Structure 1
């Protein structure tokens, strides 16, 4: 993969770059502020950009705003938001458009490097990678609470796992249930959220997240 990294901490930026280089990936550019992200992507046209949220000058939401602008200008470039923070307003906007190739992971919840690289690869290939806590907060801020309240606790578990990009078989393994049980839960979720079922795994996940992400 060809990667651009936008991270204000030099230590984290260099460390992440070295980890990815060690695994055979190319770091096209590294920038320390959100304003430099767009020009770096314009120049290098990477497969994916890793973007922190709180960067100079105000250290509030510059990175996420830059990620949204990047997706509008270069929808073919994957964007993985990698931060300590959850910013629901702009996260919802990022996911509400064409969410193919979008990820949002929390730094302190990534268990190991392989997990991060797998998520980054999935995003670069047009998939999704969303931390369950991000999904939960998006669900909590959605106007569609009335529909979400129709879901059973088990259906909410399945929805969270769907959002992370898991297949039906992977969800069944995680929950220790049968594939048939998962298929039934997925069908119920789509019915209760008024979303048409799809045989395409990524499209169904993106449809759900797009729906939940509206604020």
Structure 2
């Protein structure tokens, strides 16, 4: 793939370029500011964007806002955010406007290179990759939103464990219930949050991210 990389740290940027090239990709845009990212993607054909959140000149959320701007121009442009921080407002917008082909990973939780390479492939294929810690922070921000009132206390417990990345087996063990009961609760969550089966979506992720729409 032809990839654009935006990372203000020169060492991290060069390291990321080398990793992507090792996995057979071509980095056609490698920049250190959000302005350069937008300009580079607009002038160069790219298949995917990998960007940090905090970038010059303000070092706040410029990278993430640039990704949102690019997605508005090209809704089919896959974007993977790779950061040390969870920027809640713009992360919520990125992950809820269109969940296809987006990801948000925390740098210090990427355990090995294959995790990153796999995430890039999934996002490029239209999937959604979200670090459980990102989901938990976004969920806690909206715990009192009206959407949560649709769920029972047990369904909310199941959803919390889903947000932490637990499988049905692990959820059943944590709540001392059967896996069949867990599957039923998850089905109820999907139904109450209006998440029917659809191609190219991950309902376990969307079940959590649906809450974020209440914040806008």
TM-score higher than 0.5 here? yes
Secondary structure at 1:202 match in 2: coil
1:156 to 156, 160, 164: 160
2:149 matched to which residue of 1? 146
Provide the rounded CA distance (Å) in 1 between the counterparts of 2:148 and 2:186.
Answer: 18
Unaligned runs of 5+ in 2: none
2:27 matched to which residue of 1? 27
- The residue correspondences of 1:16-165 to structure 2 (distance < 5 A) are 16-142=16-142, 143=145, 144-147=147-150, 150=153, 151-161=155-165
Provide the rounded CA distance (Å) in 2 between the counterparts of 1:47 and 1:75.
Answer: 12
Between structure 1 and structure 2, the one with the greater Rg is 2
Q: Deviations over 1:77-97 (max 9, x none)?
A: 111111001111111111121
Q: How far did residue 117 of structure 1 move?
A: 0.8
Provide the rounded CA distance (Å) in 2 between the counterparts of 1:200 and 1:23.
Answer: 27
Q: CA RMSD, aligned part only?
A: 2.4
Q: Deviations over 1:57-93 (max 9, x none)?
A: 1101101111110110111211111100111111111
Secondary structure at 1:161 match in 2: coil
Label 1:16 to 1:93 Cα distance change in 2 as closer, same or farther (>3 A). Answer: same
Provide the rounded CA distance (Å) in 2 between the counterparts of 1:206 and 1:154.
Answer: 13
Label 1:201 to 1:185 Cα distance change in 2 as closer, same or farther (>3 A). Answer: farther
Secondary structure at 1:158 match in 2: helix
Q: Deviations over 1:16-68 (max 9, x none)?
A: 10011011111111011001111211222322100101100110110111111
95-104 vs 205-214, which deviates more?
Answer: 205-214
Label 1:55 to 1:197 Cα distance change in 2 as closer, same or farther (>3 A). Answer: same
Provide the rounded CA distance (Å) in 1 between the counterparts of 2:198 and 2:77.
Answer: 25
Secondary structure at 2:98 match in 1: coil
Q: How far did residue 155 of structure 1 move?
A: 3.6
Secondary structure at 2:201 match in 1: helix
Label 1:116 to 1:149 Cα distance change in 2 as closer, same or farther (>3 A). Answer: farther
Label 1:176 to 1:115 Cα distance change in 2 as closer, same or farther (>3 A). Answer: farther
Return the TM-score normalized by structure 2: 0.84
Give the paired residue count: 206
Return the TM-score normalized by structure 1: 0.85
Secondary structure at 2:70 match in 1: helix
Q: How far did residue 154 of structure 1 move?
A: 3.2
Provide the rounded CA distance (Å) in 2 between the counterparts of 1:199 and 1:183.
Answer: 18
Contact 1:6 1:52 in 2 (8 A): yes
Contact 1:2 1:27 in 2 (8 A): yes
Provide the rounded CA distance (Å) in 1 between the counterparts of 2:13 and 2:158.
Answer: 38
